[in-house]
A and B are shown apart, each in its own frame.
Chain A
């Protein structure tokens, strides 16, 4: 089975702190994604990466950056956390393109910024 692991399930951070959310997948997938989930808004794409050291902005990249130094690991960085970034963050990965390109999700990281 594909496994997408998010290292932290629950975090509480202070406003202005730098926050790292880590994600690792074990299936040699090309693509990795970070989504944010908020009630009534569904999932919104923050950033995605289709290769090592490559990244593309999603729908809501402001206030976030990402790093993909190794194929299996994709990190989401909040340079200076703010209260409006309190949310559930979901990492995902997929093997490539085309009809068989199923996207697999991690269990999510609940971030509270106080």
Chain B
């Protein structure tokens, strides 16, 4: 099974409320990524986990948190959602030292009201 699953597929949130998005894969990939994609813009890397090590992009460092309780799961957490967080959030996974392949999930569309 080479699929990456994301839950939920659609999420409505109120301004100021927390948001938690979930991603899972069963390919035993050691690296998992979260991207933010807004309409007519390229996906933007937010952070990635290599094994248990979290790497967050400098310009989004304080806006997003993540946890990876085991190899298969990775979450993206927004402590206090703002209108600017409305976007599609894509999760991907890959294997260190393997091919160039990053497997992408279907995305979670977050709308903040």
| Chains A and B form a bound pair | no
